[in-house]
């Protein structure tokens, strides 16, 4: 009969016990970090530093989580993947927003839960392995007076040896019973330690590993980013096709009709002249409508950059418009398109609904990986984001790229609409 090799099993039992002992100081340090710095973050949360302070605490909790995952990988060969791919957005604002993720809160919760598990693990190792070894060697310790316990019995006599419930194990025969108890503890030690380790790893995977929906969410985010950029590229291609194809043909048709109108002989019936003139006028109107359509699909001026496009909008606005821009990094095509149409809609609203006399447009990049667009008018105010309204439509369009739209419009004005967009859709 083939025997199962005991070498790997013994090594496994040793590494599991070592993991419980080594991870305990890390768990204690994590608990102190969570309690003291977590309290500090809560205190600072009512100040302007609150967001950055809590973000730093959550990111520190994630670092502790990485250390626990590494210990599990090295000592237990348990590979727990990190919960999601790290983001690389630049800027303090993005750094704070990305830290307030579910993975950060789960890592912080793990710091609080891990210490009781560490206490349990150390207790299991002490009771089974350590006490098991001490009890097993008790027959050797007794004659050598090691770990000797001196007590007095009920008659006042001095007894030396282990005592349990008034029963003394101070003879070599009784010491064998103690050794037998040690054998039992050492026999159950591997299983008891393994149960403690499995509980620890289960909590580790639950709080520090990826959730079942994380991969799906990342796929959806990538698909959405691709769809948004692909839609922008498709609209740009349609605009170019219309500009270089249908519009050129209409212009050529208009020129041909003009030449035909001028080349008509003097005896041409008036009805025929009117038809040619009507056809020429219709072609010109078609060109104008096509240009408006092209501008609504993808304004050609956006090919020159968002700054040029916003300057064009400000120049065409029926309300006098001041423009302030600080665009150091060019956003992606989809972001430029959203920013352009938001500005166009807000300028139109200022003239159509707010009865504004002046409008100020600001487009800046505060250095946190975002584009902040602000449109302020001195109109009558009272603007609200209502279902089915223009502002609601803009808000929905902004949210497709994880942007934000806020409206500040008290009665009597002024009205300020702020649109915050990421520089890229990814």
Residue 321: burial class (beta carbons within 10 Å; 0-12, 13-18, 19+):
buried
3-state secondary structure of 364: strand
Task: Using the predicted structure, report yes or no on whether residue 176 has a pLDDT greater than 70.
Answer: yes
More confident residue, 357 or 241: 357
The three-state DSSP-derived secondary structure of 399-424 is: HCCCCEEEEECCCCCCEEEEEEEECC
Most confident option among 126-130, 163-167, 194-198, 275-279: 194-198
- Contact between 41 and 49 (Cβ < 8 Å): no
CA distances from 171 to 132, 162, 238, 351 (A): 19, 10, 99, 103
Poorest-confidence range of 181-185, 191-195, 283-287, 317-321? 283-287
Q: What is the pLDDT of residues 308-360, one digit of tens each?
A: 888 888 888 888 888 888 888 888 888 888 888 888 888 888 877 777 788 88
| Tokens (6 digits) for 167 | 């029963």
Nearest one of 38, 36, 110, 100 to 72, comparing CA atoms: 110
What residues form DSSP beta bridges with 317? Answer: none
What residues form DSSP beta bridges with 362? Answer: 324, 374
Q: What is the pLDDT of residues 23-60, one digit of tens each?
A: 999 999 999 998 888 888 777 777 777 778 888 888 88
3-state secondary structure of 415: strand
Q: What per-residue confidence (pLDDT) applies to 86?
A: 47
More confident residue, 315 or 141: 315
Task: Using the predicted structure, report yes or no on whether residue 246 has a pLDDT greater than 80.
Answer: no
Q: What per-residue confidence (pLDDT) applies to 163?
A: 58
Q: What is the C-alpha separation between 295 and 299, in angstroms, rounded? A: 4
Q: What per-residue confidence (pLDDT) applies to 150?
A: 60
- Contact between 340 and 308 (Cβ < 8 Å): no
- Contact between 13 and 193 (Cβ < 8 Å): yes
Q: What per-residue confidence (pLDDT) applies to 136?
A: 77
Q: What per-residue confidence (pLDDT) applies to 137?
A: 76
Q: What per-residue confidence (pLDDT) applies to 57?
A: 86
Q: What is the C-alpha separation between 233 and 228, in angstroms, rounded? A: 9
Write the DSSP assignment of 122-170 as a string of letters: HHHHIIIIIHHHHHHTHHHHTTTTTT--EEE-TTS-EEESEEETTEEE-
Q: What is the C-alpha separation between 260 and 254, in angstroms, rounded? A: 10
Task: Using the predicted structure, report yes or no on whether residue 199 has a pLDDT greater than 90.
Answer: yes
What is the Cα 342 distance to its own chain's centre?
Answer: 25
The H-or-E segment that residue 286 falls in is helix 270-297
Sequence length of the chain is: 426
Q: What is the pLDDT of residues 385-421, one digit of tens each?
A: 777 777 888 888 888 777 888 888 888 878 888 888 8
Nearest one of 185, 189, 34, 209 to 116, comparing CA atoms: 34
The whole-model pTM stands at: 0.56
The single residue listed with the structure tokens 């499995």 is: 198
Q: What is the C-alpha separation between 111 and 118, in angstroms, rounded? A: 11
Q: What per-residue confidence (pLDDT) applies to 120?
A: 93
Q: What is the C-alpha separation between 364 and 331, in angstroms, rounded? A: 11
Torsion angle (degrees, nearest 10) of CA 113, 118, 120, 125: 160
């Amino acid at each position: 009969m083939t025997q199962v090799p005991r070498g790997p099993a013994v090594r496994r039992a040793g590494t599991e016990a070592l993991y419980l002992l080594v991870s305990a100081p890390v768990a204690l340090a994590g608990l102190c970090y969570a309690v003291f710095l977590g309290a500090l973050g809560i205190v600072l949360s009512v100040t302007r530093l609150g967001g950055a302070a809590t973000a730093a605490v959550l990111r520190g909790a994630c670092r502790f989580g990485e250390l626990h995952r590494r210990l599990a990988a090295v000592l237990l060969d348990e590979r727990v993947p990190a919960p999601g791919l790290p983001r690389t957005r630049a800027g303090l604002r993005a750094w704070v927003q990305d830290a307030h993720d579910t993975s950060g809160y789960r890592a912080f919760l793990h710091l609080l839960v891990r210490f009781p598990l560490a206490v349990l693990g150390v207790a299991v190792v002490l009771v089974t392995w350590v006490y098991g070894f001490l009890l097993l060697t008790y027959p050797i310790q007794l004659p050598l007076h090691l770990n000797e316990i001196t007590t007095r019995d009920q008659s006042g006599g001095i007894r030396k040896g282990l005592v349990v419930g008034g029963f003394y194990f101070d003879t070599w025969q009784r010491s064998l019973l103690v050794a037998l108890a040690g054998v039992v503890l050492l026999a159950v030690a591997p299983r008891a330690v393994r149960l403690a380790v499995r509980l620890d790893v289960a909590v580790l995977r639950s709080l520090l590993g990826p959730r079942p929906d994380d991969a799906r969410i990342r796929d959806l985010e990538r698909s959405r980013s691709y769809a948004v950029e692909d839609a922008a590229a498709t609209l740009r291609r349609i605009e170019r096709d219309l500009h270089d194809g249908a519009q050129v043909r209409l212009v050529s048709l208009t020129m041909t009709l003009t030449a035909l109108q001028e080349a008509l002989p003097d005896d041409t019936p008036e009805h025929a002249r009117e038809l040619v003139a009507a056809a020429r006028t219709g072609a010109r109107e078609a060109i104008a409508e096509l240009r408006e359509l092209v501008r609504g699909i993808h304004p050609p001026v956006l090919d020159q950059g968002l700054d040029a496009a916003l300057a064009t909008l400000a120049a065409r606005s029926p309300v006098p418009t001041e423009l302030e821009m600080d665009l150091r990094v060019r956003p992606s095509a989809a972001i430029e398109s959203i920013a352009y149409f938001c500005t166009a809609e807000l300028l139109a609203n200022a003239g159509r609904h707010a009865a504004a006399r002046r409008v100020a447009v600001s487009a800046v990049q505060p250095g946190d990986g975002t584009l902040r667009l602000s449109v302020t008018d001195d109109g009558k105010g009272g603007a609200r984001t209502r279902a089915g309204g223009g502002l609601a439509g803009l808000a929905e369009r902004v949210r497709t790229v994880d942007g934000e739209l806020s409206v500040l419009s008290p009665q009597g004005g002024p009205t300020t609409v702020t649109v915050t967009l990421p520089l890229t859709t990814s």
